[in-house]
Structure 1
Amino acid sequence: MSAMAPSSYKKLTGLIAATFTPFNTDGEVNILEIGPYIDYLTEKQGVRSIFVNGTTGESMSLTVAERKVLAEAWVQKAKGKMDQVIVHVGCMSLKDSQELARHAADIRADAIAVIAPSFFKPSTQDALRLFLQEVASAAPTLPFYYYHIPGVTGVNLPVRDMLEGIEELIPSFRGVKFSGSDLMDFGQCVSSSPAHWSLLYGVDEQLLAGLAMGAHGAVGSTYNYIGCQINKLISAFEKGDLAQARTIQFKMQELLVYAMKLGFDVGVNKQLMMEVSGLRLGPPRLPVMPCPPDRALAISQKHHSLFAEC
């Protein structure tokens, strides 16, 4: 397998929304809401790339068949409206991950990403690299990203060490979605990476620190409903207006601190998205519990008090 030429793909930068999976009231996947969802992101939030079937999308609670249906719908509906659709294909099973990777290539997704397995965890860098290599080999033409989220997987191997020589094993490797708080590890990833890789920061409440460390973009759930404000943060940072960038980052932190005190999880986050956007995304899937209406209303009111419409 030969490496893709760096010029044969578009480098991933800017804000990428980690999308919620729409369900109907019976808990079944509802692809009818995906078109309006994409329109909301592009028209109201100024977000033009999405990361689908990830943590926010409850991927580990979905069947392989459901993930295929969703991936295809996201890619089809985003055509001509979005810059890139990255499909997360990580599973506990290597074979399932490979099946989803092949499917992502068949439907012409722009890239794939893979989380580390979290039941039988890779205990060494070599074990993790071999797992990623086997998944990537099922879709060698698609840009490949490692999705690092140690708080969820329990796999906290230093990413910088894992990246050593990774493109020799995975010619399609193009970067990392780094959803960890270790800014030294993230900085080392940025400083040691070739120019055609994208290092994407995934801890929304620390985005400004990630940008200071050299992040090329950001993937997060809050960008679904405050993306327009975070685009202003990035613009302020790029102009050297750190005071303005900090003001926006501190407002986001204030919202999340308030939400966390009430109990902030995927179910609450999804309900907040519905309150802000008006989209019908349905309840989360068990074991994630639905958000109590009074809690959703309180967080929504806090959101409106902090963030005016763009």
Structure 2
Amino acid sequence: MATVNLDAFKGIIVAMYACYDQNGDIHQEGVKQLVRHYINKGVKGLYVGGSSGEGMLQTTEERKLVLEAVMEVAGDLTIIAHVGAPSTRESVELAQHAESVGAHAISAVPSIYYRLSPNSVESHWQAMIDSTALPFIIYHIPQTTGFHLSKSLLTKMAAQDKVIGVKISSESTYELQQFKEAGGDHFLVLNGPDEQYLAGRSIGADGGIGGTYGVMPELFLKIEACYRNGQMDEARAWQYKVNEIINELLSYPSLYGACKAILRHQGVDCGEARLPLLPVERKDDDRISVLAGKIQQYVNQACESTVEA
């Protein structure tokens, strides 16, 4: 494997949403429109096919269609392809496809449904790692997979040159710090919980990958800029605004349905979330409109303060 530029994976990486047409099929043109939307927002990269991308609700072929569309228009974006699937065979197939279309890294959760031993999870990930020359980023999200990555297994995996980092979506910043310590200075730790982006950065995260970034990337970019400039009070104020938005998004039956409804107000139609993820109900259209307006108000404030600075 060639030397990896770790800086390409630091900063704000949007966990990209799935895009469907009116029949609920993958809409490649919609995917391309969404990618261009994020390019215009100035984010560092995209995480494709993860939780926000509804990868576990799509077939292997559908996931390939999404990534192919992304890569056609990605330009200078860093693209991380989530290739985790229930079976190791599917995961390896997706990993090799990601390499073939030019993704910059692959990432995966443990296999879902079955409660697996650490040895099983290690074997599952190792098969993906060995199947390509791409760098690999562990995805640790125990609240959905049921598997809790131990510090000892992380340390063992991180000893491999291809394993360049971990996306940590557990809610403990202590665990994030421990993973950073275990991996060392040249091992990426990427914050998962959007509501604690600043906390994660403060304790050692190199950046973040998040789903709600997708409806307000400017606000996460603002937090990051303030953090880098040492403006911690301002960074906290923007994190509080972000958390206000997240709290409202979480009041809907499905976070992803709500985020897609917000995106429609922003001029990008990704279709509805795939069932069993629920869409926003018609009775909540007015409430979504108000929330979209609040996000735009905060975005305007963030842009104005950037100009003043």
Structures share a fold, TM > 0.5?
yes
Alpha-carbon distance between aligned partners in 1 of 2:17 and 2:6, rounded to the nearest angstrom: 26
Q: Which residue of 2 aligns with 1:142?
A: 134
CA distances 1:164-215 after superposition (whole Å, capped 9, x unpaired): 22145x4311101111102111101112223332211010001011001111
CA positional deviation for 1:10:
5.4
1:96 aligns with 2:90: yes
Q: Which residue of 1 aligns with 2:278?
A: 289
Aligned residues of 2:15 and 2:46 also touching (Cα < 8 A):
yes
Unaligned runs of 5+ in 1: none
Alpha-carbon distance between aligned partners in 2 of 1:175 and 1:191, rounded to the nearest angstrom: 12
Instruction: In structure 1, give the amino acid aligned to 2:155.
Output: E
CA distances 1:128-184 after superposition (whole Å, capped 9, x unpaired): 222111121111x101011111121121233x222122145x431110111110211
Q: Which residue of 2 aligns with 1:195?
A: 185
CA positional deviation for 1:264:
4.3
CA positional deviation for 1:107:
0.9
Aligned residues of 1:233 and 1:248 also touching (Cα < 8 A):
yes
Unaligned runs of 5+ in 2: 304-309
CA positional deviation for 1:230:
1.2
CA positional deviation for 1:303:
4.2
1:12 aligns with 2:9: yes
1:24 aligns with 2:21: yes
- Normalised by the length of structure 1, the TM-score is 0.90
C-alpha distance 264-216 of structure 1, shift in aligned 2 (>3 A): same
Kindly, what percent of the aligned residue pairs are identical?
A: 29
CA positional deviation for 1:272:
2.0
Instruction: In structure 1, give the amino acid aligned to 2:299.
Output: A
Alpha-carbon distance between aligned partners in 1 of 2:188 and 2:236, rounded to the nearest angstrom: 24
Aligned residues of 2:253 and 2:278 also touching (Cα < 8 A):
no
Q: Which residue of 2 aligns with 1:272?
A: 262
Q: Of the two structures, which has the highest relative contact order with CA contacts closer than 8 Å and spacing of 6 or more?
A: 1
Q: Which residue of 1 aligns with 2:210?
A: 220
C-alpha distance 230-281 of structure 1, shift in aligned 2 (>3 A): same
Alpha-carbon distance between aligned partners in 2 of 1:254 and 1:36, rounded to the nearest angstrom: 28
CA distances 1:77-112 after superposition (whole Å, capped 9, x unpaired): 11x2x3311110000011000000011111111110
From 136, 150, 153, the counterpart of 2:145: 153
CA distances 1:11-40 after superposition (whole Å, capped 9, x unpaired): 410100011111001001000112221221
C-alpha distance 162-11 of structure 1, shift in aligned 2 (>3 A): farther
Aligned residues of 1:268 and 1:296 also touching (Cα < 8 A):
no
